Amino acid sequence: MTFLMRLRTIGWAVVEAAFLLIVLCILLNIILGGEADSFIAGVAKNATDFLERLPPGVVLGIALIVMIYGMVKSRLQR
């Protein structure tokens, strides 16, 4: 594996871990409610504020684009 491939793999792993951390903080904030840690509550508040400020349909559009990309990529690999 070349250096750039290894760096790209590590970069994507970091991005995936960050997204999982955000989702985990949102879920913990839902479960714990007001008793959540300040870090968890802060991350959840920032994420929900960001999603509320997006125009309607943007999240759905991005989700559909990612799903279509995944389907096309899986079919091309066969």
What are the extents of the domains in the chain?
Answer: 3-77
Mean pLDDT, range 41-62, rounded to an integer: 89
pTM, 2 dp: 0.66
Maximum CA extent, the chain: 49
What confidence tier does 40 reach under pLDDT thresholds 50, 70, 90?
confident
In 3D space, the residue among 40, 22, 23, 20 whose CA is nearest the CA of residue 32 turns out to be: 40
Rounded Cα distance between 24 and 45, Å, is 13
Amino acid at 42: G
State the helix-helix crossing angle for 38-53 and 3-32, rounded to 10 degrees: 100
Residue 1: pLDDT above 90? no
Q: What is the pLDDT, as a whole number, of residue 53?
A: 92
Chain CA centroid to CA 38, Å: 20
